[in-house]
Structures are given as C-alpha cells and as structure tokens.
Structure 1
C-alpha cells in the first residue's frame, strides 16, 4: 500500500479562507475538511488509501503525463494531463469566503480538453469524520447528496450533459459507497462538478454560474497579490508564500493555522505525526513580521486583534495566561485522540487529531507575542487603554514566572528543562513592554520590568553559554545546540558580530548544518521523549540565512537562501521538514516555512542593498520591504 501514496510534495493547496483541500498531481483530492480547517475530514486518503475517502479526476487511459501549476497570481490550481491524442485539464478552486463564518462552502472541479479528445473518469468516495461515519447516497438528475449523521456533501453537475447526436456522452454508476462518472470530451468542451457543504440548492449549475465563480476567485487573488509592497529579488517565491499564508488564514477571526493537514509524518513510518490545524501563538506572531514586511497591514491587524482577545480571555492556568495554541475561533478544546482505524501516511502511525501539547508551558510565546505587538505598534497599530492594561498584567506574570523549567519551543515530551530560547524570549517580552511604555508614556512598573529583564540577560549569559563549547546551548544542563537560538541576533539579544555569537554560529555550522539545510537539534544527543528521527527544519534553514547575513557573511547567506528555494515543490510550497534526499516531510504546506522564507527574503534584500549591520534598521525598514 505504501507505493500507492503520492509524495507529500506532490500536492497543491486550494482554499476559501475558512477551509482547504489538497490536490495531488494525479488529480486526486486526498485531503478536505469542512466547514473549517479543524473540522473532521470528508476526504482523507492521504492518511489511508482504503478508508480515508477521495475524489479523483483523471484520464481513463493510464498512459499520460501530468503537470501542475497555479494560474499566475492566484490560488486556482490547474492539473494537466497530456497524451498523444489529447491534452486535458482539471481546474480546482474554491470561491473565497472572506467574511463571517459559514457552513456553506464550495469546491469547484472543472474539466476541459484543450487539444484532441480525452475520456475522463471522476470517482467520488467520501468518508465522513475521518472515515468513522457511514453515509447514505441520494442520486439526483443534477448530481448527488451524501449524508452522514453530522455532515452533508452535495455534488452538483456543471451545465447540461454533453450530447453526441441524441445520446449523452457520459455515464454515472454507483461504486462501493460512492459514484463513478465517465465522460468523453473533445477539444473546447467543458464539464465538471461542484461540491457544496450542506444540502445546497437543487439543479445543475450553469457554465455561466461557474465561470462567474472562476472570474471572481481569480480577481480576488490578483487584487490581493497586487497589494504587496515587496519589490525585491525573489518576487515570485515571496508572492507564492504570501498567498499560501493567506490560504491558511481563517478569515472570520484572522487566525493563522500552522498547516491545513494532520498527522503527516516527520519521519515516514515513525510516530511524530501531529495535528497542525490550529493557531499557535508563536507561529502566528511570526506571521506579523511577514505580513507587515509585505505591506499587508489589515491581515497583521486582524491577527493582533485575535491575539489580544486571547490575552483578554486569559484565566491564569498552570500553563500561564496564554495557551500555546487555540482553535481558529479562539476556543481551546484540543483534546488529542488517536484514529486507530487509519493506517497513516505510508503506514506512519499513530494518526493524531487534536493536540496534547496545548497545555504545555512554553515561555517563549510571551516574547514572540510581545515582539509582534511591538512591531505592529511601529506600523501605527497602537493598543487602546484596555489592551495596554491586559499587556501589563501579562508582563507582570512573566516577571514572576520566567525562572522555571518548561517544555520549550519544540514541544518535546521528555520533561521540562531550563530552555535557553524560552529564557531569552522572556527577555524579549519585557524589553518590548518597556519600549512600548516609554514610547507612549503608558503607566507600568518599569523598575520591576527592567530589573527582571536584566536578570534574565545575566542568567542566559552565565548559564546558557556553555563554558567548554563557548556557544549558547539548548538548555542549562546540556551541551546540545539548538537552531532556535539563531533568532538571538534578530531579536536584539546579542550583537550579530559579537565573538560569543559568532562562535555559536561556527558550532552550528559544524553540527546542525548540512549544506543549506539545518536541523533544529540532535534528538539522539538530547532525548525528547519520542522515538525516531526527523529531517532538517525548513524554518531553521531560513533563520540561518538571516543569521549569516547579520554576521557579515552576505555571500553565504544569499547562496544558502537560493539553495533553499530549490527544495520547494513544483508549486513553490514547503512542508515542515526536508529529508536526506530532499523529500518534503511533515504537515503540508507549513506556515512556519513560508513566513520564514518571506522574512529571510525581505531582510536579506535590505542587507544586500545596504550592507549587513544595524538590527533595528532591519527590523523597522527591512521588514517593510524597503
């Protein structure tokens, strides 16, 4: 069965800003959840070819070549099938739902032939609730309705059946728990189906209706893309990464999911298979840099508003005033469960949905959140009085709680440690709070904040810098390196050319860097409570680019960055990790990877144009696309 699974990289992403689907290069939708990113799946053959459910669209004859591309400057995906007798295309898109939350979503699959003729086969095999719920099928003249206890999926035909003489050039039959539709198309002919969540309206959709959907979707994405202020060296890759982040943003709240998928493995056959369809405070805070760097102020403001709502709702549990992750609507019920009936991608089990790391103590999130709020403030997104009062309470909590063991940025399950990254990010939180208070004359216990900020600094310099290695290490009781510390110069904790930092960078070069690829840490040297290994971490590779540039190694930085671009898939998309032979690993596409690409591109552009130097100048100008 493993051979039947497509590569993780062999997919494109479509979505409507509330839910999303993956389309493989063979024309199969093998992942689709509705009405939200974190809803149960209706198609999930990516996690189980037999029981997951899918919708395939392909030529009847197996001898064909496929190519996949996005319509330029859009999230409309085209999968081309080429044979000696004809060329056909499947055009997949979702009309944008850029408004209030809704249960009604559409996924459009248009099929057309652009040369010769071609016989197409479309198979629709939904499996509701990750394959756990049975369903009934109601056939209609215009399509079908699949109904389970908790969800309904309507399939509507596009246009009238194609006629050849007096006969319909197509055939519909029941197969297993779904449908198979066959049709012969000649050059210029178009057919297709539209999936609708919920009952939908009876009757076929006219071709004019679907063309209007197509044109409106195309215009939306081109207008959004044209708002970007980026004029740097890598426009195509930056634009695609920006649209990918937008596709993973839940429009009703502005929350960004870490990825639209669940349980794709960090090691094929291993157990590191997590559900990433939620909003991490850390990931989404980093996205503020990327969005502001490209001029997308509205999107940055929407997330900051979402973040402030979470701070306002904080209840001060044992994990702190903020949880590390939430659902896109801001709720925090993320109970982790295992789907025992699904075999997992290429046998990678267990298959997890929900996420048990939600209640971990990860102190770094306060630094990332405060840095995002501070950066937003520099772009005119100032906090109101009530917002400042909530920030003040949060920072007072940081003052009282920063000096304790925690789980750390990588959500390890091997016990709490005094992680260096978490400590220095607490320094960032207090430092940004001090700056905000001084900038706007806001009331704050500045003496306490400064005292605790300085205590953190002294502790990290004393205990986070390993005496034998002469390098900053993962936590105070180890000599293991950690690529998250590549953010130290970016955040202003160390000068980018300080000898102790350059020594750390040299050690990382030797131990964590494989050509342009960077491991986040060595799990063999630092047990993380999980079996198996993992690939290099794409986020860290782009962090490495910035650290090289700030350290004066601009030629190295540009070479590493451009090498990293070659590891993207055919559409410019990245998963979480890259394996030893260049394969994409982990959930796909990954917000962390794409926002780090954007930040690296914007910062590297600035430093190539102005010379590597002042951190503040890059923070305030480079990220604006100057």
Structure 2
C-alpha cells in the first residue's frame, strides 16, 4: 500500500483519540498540537484563519466566524488543514505580520535555499452586493473577497515547495469529495455537507482521497500562488499578478483603516496598534458585531472540560468595545456596533440577552461534536453556548454605559436608542435584588454577586445621566434614586470585615470582577474600601503576579478542575492600580503583561503562569480591549504628570 493510500485510509477511518487521562496535565506537556500562542491570526472581517508555525491553516470557518469549520486540526489532528511551505521543513526562520496589517509573512530556510510565503484573507474594492454574507449595515468601499490567497517567492537557491489541502466539512465530520474543474490540474473543487470550495493554483495538483496535493521545485526569483475561494461563483484570481494585486489591496485596506485611528506616540504604540487590528479583525463587517474570539473549545484547563464556543457577541463586551474604539478615534466602528445593539431583539421581559449571534440571532443552543478529540485531548468540543439564556444582571449596565459613552461622543442621543435605555433601566430596577449567575456565567446556584449589583448600579446611574441629557428630569431623578439604593445595598452587604468587596453576599471569597468598581466609578480611588479591594486582589488572588477570576475551590461554578489566570483580569488590575494611585505598580504589571504576548503580539483568554503558556480561545477580544483600556489610563496619567511638571 502506498504512503498516500495509507494516509487516505487513515483519514477515512476517523479513529478517535482515546479520552484524556483524568490526571491533571501541564500546559507545557509534549503534544502534536502547537501551543496556542504560536498561531497567527488572519481576518477579512467576515471570518478568520489560524495559521500554525509549520505553514498549515489549522482553523478556518466559512463563510462566517460562526460557520462550521472546513479546517479544524486545531481541535483534532484529523479534522482538516491547508499547508503551503517547504517540503520536509516544519520550523520557519521568521514569522511576522506585514506592518500595520493582519497579513502574515513567513520566511523559510532550507538546506538548499530560502523562500518567503505571504498569507491573507484578502480584501479589496467592493464590486457588487455581497450575496455570501449579506450586509445589514451600509457596505464600506472595501469588503472581503471571500478567499484565502497565498504566494511563495524563492529568495535564494532552490526549494521544493509542497501544497496540501485537506478540508473536512461540518466541523471535522464530513470528508471532502474533490473533482478537477479545469482539466489542466490547476483548479479543483471540494464538496461536502452541502458546501463547495475551490482551490486554484499555478502548481499541478493531484487528488489523493480527501485531499489535493502538489509539489514544485522553485529557483531564485520564481514565484507561485494558490487561493481557496468560497466567493460567489467560486471566483478565484486569474493568475499571479491578480493574486499579488489582491494581497497588495489587502495591505492597503488595513493600513488605510489604521491611519484613521488615533494612536499615541508612546512606547506602547505597537501593542496598542496590534490590539486595534485584532479587535477590527474580530468584527463581523456585515452587522457591526464583534466576536469574543475566533475559536471554540480551546480549553481553560489543560485536558479539561472548561471549553466554550466564543464565536458570538457578548453584551458585556459592549462598554469595553466602545471605550476602546472611541479612545482610538474609531467612531465609525463604534457607531456600527451601537446600531447592531439597537437592532437586537430583546426577551419577552424587555431585557437583552447576555449574548447573541453575530447576525443578531437569539438561539445559540449548545451541542457537542463527539467526533473530535479536542485540543490536546480537552473535551467536549462545543458548538453553540448554553449560557445565552442564563440570567446575568450585568448586561443592563454594560449596554447603558456603552450608550452613554456613545452619546457623549456624538453629542446626541439617537431616537432609536432611547427605548433601549427605558427597557434596560426598567429591567435593572426590577431584578437588582435577585440572585443571578454572575459575570463569569457560573453554572452553579445563583448568588447575589457583587459585580452584578455593581453593573445594575451602572445601569441606573447611566440611565439617569441619559435622561438628563434628554431633558427628562422626572426619569433622571427616579433612576438616580434607585442607583443610590443599589449603592447602599452593596456597601452594606458586599463588603467583608476587612473592608474588601466580596465575590457575592454569602462569601468572603475574592473575585476579580470587583475591580470594575474602580474603573466604573462606583467608588473613588481614594476610598479605603476600594484601595483595600484592589490590593487584596493583587496580593491574594494572583499566581506569579497574574490575576485569577476567582479561586475554583472557593466558588461553585458548576465545573471541575483548575483554570489559568485571566489576562483581562490582570489588565483590569492595571487599571484599578492606576485608579488608586499605585502608578508604579500599575506600570510594572503592564510591562509584564506586554512581555507575555504571543510572538505576533496576540493574547488568548488565559495565561498559565506556571508554564508561561496560553489557555482558552484565541485571539481573545476582551484581553485586547482591556489592554487598550489599561494602556490608556497609564498614558493619561503620564501625560498629566508631564503637564503638571
């Protein structure tokens, strides 16, 4: 039996990796799965791709972020991949983003020469109405081509280059059926699960079971290209010049977009810029929604069950998104997101859900993909998120704070947003005395979480200010009075004997979400209770200086196993330390956080401080939003110090 036949047979048997051993494992244990931090993130603001160091696209869903994957090796080594690179060489000499873009440039050194590979989910001038992912927002001048374009340039010597494209449709469950589309071995179509994608290249390809493969020896100055398309009529570049033109147009798109941002001339300019590009890359252009991350089911615990689908929009992200976008001067994106919020359908009681699909859909029913082993054996692999119908009282504050931020920026309160103010204020008034699942979506018993009360206070405080802007003094006074009641209740029941804010009313356990009391102005930085809370979290809720959400042995979150430190919580601590006047400590922590970024400047959800490895979905919008917020606070304080001097 040939090597190709054995490979095809192995793929078709779909032998499932045995269930993970229950013994706790290290995030640094040897594994065929690349570390999360080593993946590059590509985006066309409709979907994303993650590229492994060996040049393989290990994760891509088409045509949208939340579609089923066609390449899913990130979650099972047999779930599909697309590699373009030197044959027999898996470790590149260098990888970097083309400056100011989400396009990847990889340099390879082989025993016989050097090659350079460029990868991008291409974008260019909008040619016609998008039928692949229809827009509800006004289309921009540039939009996605709905294709992945890859080129190789031989820099020196001679190099044998390999192309392997092995899609597995329906999130790793349906093998591809390939057919040659041109008779000359340069165009092939893969079909499965009711979907067809097209591979085009100037290499001669062969079909080997569920994959297409090609090999070609390049010499100095030679260049080749390939493209994978899911565009209308499966359009592909018409040659090398067109492929290069699409890559150039994509570079122009990202740089033109970045030129519109107001970036500080500061030593942290590059991480702020990369965070802005990551957040834009996680934005679904047709509706203005932002996904929490590009992936599903990357584990929060090595080999564990804390694996969630983050390819949706959380309402709690709204206020952090608006803060970051407005601070960067990206007002158009901020307005697009607010229009998405205004379009959302509330529940029967008028409350917005905690999360929605990127198209605004409400039903995110969770299911398990039994066929996939999970990243490094972490199962289950989940599609959908059952938390969508949880009771989380923080949603009202997030939405109304974002509306206030947007209103102040635009100097007007849009008529279509006022009904949302009324309904969310009414909901917060009705439920603030009730227990809920909290900001972390605990799957244990509902509790009176301090962060939820805090966010209800924000809801009524911001609603009162919006009513004042609107000239509605009666509503303003009414909502302000309710905000005062919530404030008093939290200080009466949510503070322990040390003067530290509790996780919830029935415990003295710490919770990083109480840091938001400083950043949202619930207590001034000079208040001793605020200072005691921030310092207690800094000293007692950290591992190697990085912040945990809470200690899992003190919290009934309905799950088993430990989790890593949460990067967003560590950035929150930076902001809170700055708010209480601990500027040096804030700067020191910020520098440590910047040094744990991935080699390409990206962040996951969590950081395993013991092994210096990322955990959780990637790249994580919340982490990058919190980075911008923390950097902004320190930069502002530094500018003020310079002014005073």
TM-score normalised by length of structure 2:
0.89
SS across alignment from 1:14: strand
The answer for the alignment partner of 2:346 in structure 1 is 314
The aligned counterpart of 2:356 is 326
In the TM superposition, what are the counterparts of 1:402-413 in structure 2 within 5 Å? 402-413=432-443
Write the distance in 2 (CA, Å) between the matches of 1:56 and 1:137. Answer: 17
Residue 11 in structure 1 maps to residue 39 in structure 2: yes
Aligned runs of 1:223-622 on 2, under 5 Å? 223-233=256-266, 234-310=268-344, 313-317=345-349, 321-380=351-410, 382-442=412-472, 445-467=475-497, 469-579=498-608, 580-611=610-641
Which among 238, 242, 245 is matched to residue 205 of structure 1? 238
Structure 1 distance, partners of 2:539, 2:388, is: 34
Aligned-pair CA distance for 1:265: 0.5
Structure 1: gaps spanning 5 or more residues: 162-170, 614-626
CA drift of 1:68 comes to 1.2
Contact 1:154 1:200 in 2 (8 A): no
Rounded to whole Å, the distance in 1 between the matches of 2:125 and 2:361 is 21
Shift in CA distance, 238/192, structure 1 to aligned 2, threshold 3 Å: same
State the SS of the aligned residue for 2:162. Answer: strand
**1:153 maps to which residue?**
197
Instruction: State the aligned residue count.
Output: 596
CA distance in 1, matches of 2:336, 2:89: 47
- 1:27-59 Cα offsets, whole Å, 9 max, x none, are 010000011100000000010002x10001221
Q: Compared with structure 1, are the counterparts of its residues 377 and 113 closer, same or farther at alpha carbon in structure 2 (3 Å cutoff)?
A: same
Q: Once the two structures are superposed, what CA deviation does each residue of 1:287-307 show, in whole Å capped at 9, x if it has no partner?
A: 110010100000001101111
Any idea what the Cα deviations from partners look like across 1:230-253, whole Å, max 9, x if unmatched? 214211110010000000000111
CA distance in 1, matches of 2:443, 2:44: 35
Indicate how the Cα distance of structure 1 residues 338 and 539 shifts in structure 2: closer, same or farther if over 3 A, else same: same
- RMSD of aligned Cα (Å): 1.9
Check the 8 A contact 2:291/2:313 in 1, yes or no.
yes
Distance 1:63 1:606, change over 3 A: closer
Aligned-pair CA distance for 1:437 = 1.3
Write the distance in 2 (CA, Å) between the matches of 1:65 and 1:210. 23
Structure 1 distance, partners of 2:180, 2:38, is 33
- 2: distance between equivalents of 1:581 and 1:63? 24
Report the Cα offset of residue 338 of structure 1.
0.4
User: d(CA) in 1 for partners of 2:382 and 2:282?
Assistant: 20
Q: Does the alignment pair 1:54 with 2:84?
A: no
Once residues 94 and 506 of structure 1 are traced to their aligned partners in structure 2, the CA distance between those partners, rounded to angstroms, is 44
1:85 Cα offset (Å): 2.4
Taking the aligned partners of 1:454 and 1:411, their CA distance within structure 2 comes to 26
Could you report, residue by residue, the CA deviation over 1:325-345 in whole angstroms, capped at 9, with x for unpaired residues? 111110112110000000000
Whole-angstrom CA distance in 2 between matches of 1:98 and 1:16: 13
SS in 2 for 1:497: coil
The residue number in structure 2 matching 1:620 is none
**In structure 2, distance between residues paired with 1:344 and 1:98:** 38
8 Å CA contact retained: 2:89, 2:110? no
State how far apart, in whole Å, the 2-side matches of 1:314 and 1:203 are. Answer: 41
In the alignment, the residues of structure 2 paired with residue 202 and residue 243 of structure 1 have an alpha-carbon distance, to the nearest angstrom, of 27
Contact 2:295–2:617 (Cα < 8 Å) also in 1: yes
User: Which of 214, 225, 247 is the aligned partner of 1:214?
Assistant: 247
- How many angstroms does 1:406 deviate by? 0.4
Q: Distance in 2 between matches of 1:181 and 1:445?
A: 69
Residue 52 of structure 2: aligned partner: 24
In structure 2, do the counterparts of structure 1 residues 198 and 438 end up closer, same or farther at CA, with 3 Å as the change threshold? closer
Q: Residue by residue, what CA displacement relative to the aligned partner does 1:399-444 show, whole Å, maximum 9, x if unpaired?
A: 1121101001101101211000000110011101111111231365
Task: Note closer, same or farther for the CA distance 1:30–1:63 as it changes in structure 2 (3 Å cut).
Answer: closer
Matches within 5 A, 1:72-221: 72-96=99-123, 102-103=131-132, 105-140=146-181, 141=184, 142-157=186-201, 160=202, 172-197=205-230, 200-201=233-234, 205-221=238-254
Q: For residue 611 of structure 1, report the CA deviation from its aligned partner.
A: 4.6
**Larger displacement relative to structure 2 (494-503 or 100-109):** 100-109
Tell me the CA shift for residue 207 of structure 1: 1.4
Q: Is the 8 A contact 1:16 1:97 kept in 2?
A: no
User: 1:65 & 1:249 partners in 2: Cα distance?
Assistant: 29
SS state at 2:31 partner: helix
Quick one: structure 1 residues 61 and 149, their matched pair in 2 at CA, closer, same or farther if it must change by over 3 Å?
A: closer
Deviates more, 1:498-507 or 1:249-258: 498-507
Secondary structure of the corresponding residue to residue 495 of structure 1: coil
Counterpart of 2:197 in 1: which secondary structure? strand
- The secondary structure found in structure 2 opposite 1:119 is strand
In structure 2, stretches of 5+ residues that fail to align are 1-16, 18-29, 133-144
**Structure 1 residues 322 and 201 mapped into 2: Cα distance closer, same or farther (>3 Å)?**
closer
1:554-576 CA distances to partner (integer Å, 9 max, x unpaired)?
A: 11111110110011001100000
How far apart are the structure 1 equivalents of 2:220 and 2:463? 63
C-alpha displacement of 1:445? 2.5
Q: Determine the C-alpha separation between the residues in 2 that align with 1:257 and 1:387.
A: 22
Paired residue secondary structure (2:100): coil
What is the Cα deviation at residue 513 of structure 1? 2.3
Q: Distance in 1 between matches of 2:420 and 2:60?
A: 38
Give the Cα separation in 1 of the matches to 2:436 and 2:290: 24
CA gap of 1:137–1:382, structure 2 versus 1, over 3 A, is same
Shift of 1:10: 0.7
Using the alignment, how far apart are the partners of 1:110 and 1:73 within structure 2? 19
Which residue is equivalent to 1:621? Answer: none
Q: Higher mean Cα deviation, 8-17 or 433-442? A: 433-442
